[in-house]
Amino acid sequence: MGSTDINFAFTQNAGRIVRDQQDALLVAGHLYQRTDLPVHRVVGEAAGGYCAVADGVASSPSPQRASRAVLEALRGLDAGQEALLQDGWIGPRLIRRHVHAHLCRQLARDRRTRSSASTLALLQWRAGRFSVLNVGDSRVYRVDLDGRWQRLSRDHTYFESMVERGEIARDQSVGQLYHDLEHMLTADAQEDDFAMHWRQGEWAPGDTFLLCTDGLHDTLGETRLEAIYRPERPVDEQAALYREAVLDAGAPDNVSLILVRITSLGMPV
C-alpha cells in the first residue's frame, strides 16, 4: 500500500420488515444488491475513483431494478460517456444524458416497469479533491479527523423545499407526506427535470465519508449516527456498529452504507 490510501467498508441488509433488497451499492467497480451483505473492507486507488449508493423508491413499479440500472450506468463508463464529464468530474450533465437515459432505456419501454424510480448519492475523488452529487434522500456525510460532521448532500423532499422557501421552520412538525421525495431518477423520458445537488471540495488525510440510504439515517437519526462514531475506529468496525445498531432498532427498511476513509501512513484505517 502507498503513503495515501482509500479504505472502504460497506454492508447491506434488506431489513426485518421489507423482504426485497431495493438498494444497490457500487464500490471499487463492483455492484452489490444482496439481501444480506456482511461488512466487507477493500482498499482502492487514492489517485482517483468513485463510489455510490442508490435506493429504489418502494412506491414505484420495480424499485430494485431501478437502483441497479442507475449504478450499472455509472459502473460502465466508456470513452463516449467520459466526454460528458465536466472538467473530469461526474456532474449533472452525465447524470441527465447518460444515467437517466440508461434508466429509461432499461425500464421505460415496458409499461410494467415504466416510472420505476431510484435515488442516488455519489462520491468521486481525484487530485486531492472530492465531488458529491445526489438526487433524492440518499446522503453523503463528511467527518474530519477530529470527529466533526458535515452533511454534504441535500434531501430532495417537499419538506426541504418548503424550509428553503421559508414556508416552514426546520423544527416544525409536519405530516409524513411532506417528507416524501419531490425529486428522484425516474424511468420516464418526460421526467427529466429532476433536481440534483452537486458540490466539490478539498479532502484531507483522515477524512471519512459516509454514503447511506435512508434505512440508516432515518432509522438511527443524525444525533445517534454522530454519537456512536469514533474517528480512531477502523472503518470496518464502524460499519459493523452501524449495521448492528440498525438491526437492534428493528431494521424497518433496506439499509446500505459505505464508509470511505482517506489515510496517510500511521493513521487509523
Q: Find where cell 442508490 sits.
A: 54
Residue 9 has pLDDT above 70, yes or no: yes
Q: Residues of the chain with pLDDT > 70: what percent?
A: 97
Buried b (16+ CB within 10 A) or exposed e, 200-211: eeebebbbbbbb
- At 158-188, the pLDDT tens digits run 888 888 888 898 888 888 777 889 999 999 9
pTM: predicted TM-score of the whole model, two decimal places: 0.94
Amino acid of residue 193: D
Residue 1 has pLDDT above 80, yes or no: no
Q: What is the average per-residue pLDDT within 102-131? A: 97
CB 236 within 8 A of CB 27: no
The domain segmentation of the chain, as residue ranges, is 4-155+184-264
- At 186-242, the pLDDT tens digits run 999 999 999 999 999 999 888 999 999 999 999 999 999 999 999 999 999 999 999
Q: Per DSSP, which regions of 197-244 are E strands?
A: 197-202, 208-212
Closest residue by Cα to residue 63 from 26, 29, 24, 100 = 24
What is the dotted CATH code of the domain comprising 4-155+184-264?
Answer: 3.60.40.10
CA angle 39/45/48 to nearest 5° reads 120
Confidence bin at 129 (pLDDT 50/70/90): very high
CA angle 164/166/169 to nearest 5° reads 95
Q: According to the model, what pLDDT value does residue 159 have?
A: 87
Q: Whole-angstrom Cα distance, residue 56 to residue 70?
A: 10
- At 27-79, the pLDDT tens digits run 999 999 999 999 999 998 788 999 999 999 999 999 999 999 999 999 988 87
End-to-end Cα spacing for the chain: 12
